[in-house]
Amino acid sequence: MLLEARAITKAFGSFKAVDAASVTLEAGDILGLIGPNGAGKSTFFNCLTGDLAATSGRVVFEGHDISELPPEARARLGLARTFQVPQTFEGMTVLENVMIGAFLRTAHRAVAEAKARAVLARVGMERLADAPARALGTPGRKRLEIARALATEPKVMLLDEAMAGLTLHEVNLAIELVRDIHRSGITLVIVEHIMEVIMSLASRVMVFHQGCEIARGTPQEVTANPAVIAAYLGTRAAAKVAAGHTPIELTGGPAT
Ligand code: ADP
Ligand code: MG
């Protein structure tokens, strides 16, 4: 087992954004994590990476309890992530942004630069190396986040809505990139609202609603699950679906 989260809870005051959520990740998985807006997906990611301290629960990576480690230490072990809202350094170039990732493994500027250039080539951004990050649009920023994460040489990558805001064509390009990353041996957890992306990439899916897991299974199983449909659409729409008035389209859903 590569990564295991045991009963992670994250409370903000009396409100539990994540409520005793557990997951196990085997090497080679592509796990989809879905759920309506506000379900706690990003908060769960933050607890896995250490960007937020969980209120309770444990995170185990390759057999080591990493629950108390800061994000940098978790990244050094091989846990990388992208942010739902890209955290690019606007005044720096694209290359420099990716070098920040590479500096996790080396203190040498030339080594970091070579690594960053190789990663930019891999994600198809080499011609943008010297552009300021602020010049990028949404697709470029999302891809830059992926590049920076790749430059840390991760074993696991957590992608938080890496395809939100992209056109259909850009989504298809991003799916290819994710497939390529997976083929290179990186295990993935993807939070994504676009169900086509989950359907075409994820081998299994877990569904969050109000901080709790409400379903898990194959993409086909969870999207046919009445509890999942109800979480997204409300019970009346779910009843229609159950009565055969498909298709269902699981989008962001109402804020909970
Ligand atoms: P998702 O990523 O599934 O859309 P989030 O993890 O972003 O959901 O948020 C889950 C819930 O926790 C939401 O109700 C959100 O408003 C709340 N929340 C997230 N971060 C904070 C915070 N720093 N302080 C208080 N509430 C928060
Ligand atoms: Mg989120």
101 within domain boundaries = no
H or E element: which one contains 208?
Answer: strand 204-209
Is the pTM for the entire model greater than 0.85? yes
pLDDT for 242: 66
Would the pLDDT of 165 be above 80?
yes
97 within domain boundaries = no
Q: Report the alpha-carbon distance of residue 126 to residue 123 in Å, rounded.
A: 8
44 within domain boundaries = yes
**How many structural domains are present in the chain?**
1
Q: Report the alpha-carbon distance of residue 129 to residue 240 in Å, rounded.
A: 51
Q: Which atom of ligand 1 is closest in space to residue 161's alpha carbon?
A: 2
Would the pLDDT of 221 be above 70?
yes
111 within domain boundaries = no
Q: Which atom of ligand 1 is closest in space to residue 160's alpha carbon?
A: 2
Nearest CA to ligand 1 atom 17: 17
Q: Report the alpha-carbon distance of residue 144 to residue 157 in Å, rounded.
A: 14
pLDDT for 241: 65
pLDDT for 235: 64
Backbone angles phi, psi at 36, to 5 degrees: -60, 165
Q: Report the alpha-carbon distance of residue 158 to residue 43 in Å, rounded.
A: 12
pLDDT for 255: 44
* CA of 110 relative to ligand 2 center, distance in Å: 36
At 43, which CATH number?
3.40.50.300
Q: Is the CB of 42 under 6 A from ligand 1?
A: yes
121 within domain boundaries = no
Mutate to test the pocket of ligand 1, among 12, 85, 214, 250 (most ligand atoms within 8 A of CB): 12
pLDDT for 33: 97
Q: What pLDDT, in 10s, does the model give residues 60-103?
A: 999 999 999 999 999 999 999 999 999 999 999 999 999 999 99
Would the pLDDT of 222 be above 80?
yes
* CA of 224 relative to ligand 2 center, distance in Å: 23
Q: What pLDDT, in 10s, does the model give residues 19-68?
A: 999 999 999 999 999 999 999 999 999 999 999 999 999 999 999 999 99
* CA of 43 relative to ligand 1 center, distance in Å: 6
Averaged pLDDT, 160-188: 95
42 within domain boundaries = yes
Tell me which of 16-30, 104-118, 234-248 is least confident. Answer: 234-248
pLDDT for 76: 97
Ligand number, closest to the Cα atom of 48: 1
110 within domain boundaries = no
Averaged pLDDT, 223-235: 84
The proportion of the chain whose per-residue pLDDT surpasses 90, expressed as a percent, equals 84
Q: Which domain holds residue 47?
A: 3-86+154-242
Q: Report the alpha-carbon distance of residue 126 to residue 129 in Å, rounded.
A: 5
Q: What pLDDT, in 10s, does the model give residues 111-157?
A: 999 999 999 999 999 999 999 999 999 899 999 999 999 999 999 99
Beta strands at 3-12 and 15-25: parallel, antiparallel or unpaired = antiparallel
pLDDT for 250: 61
pLDDT for 256: 43
Q: What pLDDT, in 10s, does the model give residues 3-12?
A: 999 999 999 9
Mutate to test the pocket of ligand 1, among 9, 19, 43, 250 (most ligand atoms within 8 A of CB): 43
106 within domain boundaries = no
Residue identified by tokens 């090497």 is 27
| Structure-model confidence comparison of residues 214 and 250, the more confident one | 214
* CA of 162 relative to ligand 2 center, distance in Å: 11
pLDDT band at 233 (very low <50, low <70, confident <90, very high): confident
Q: Is the CB of 12 under 6 A from ligand 1?
A: yes
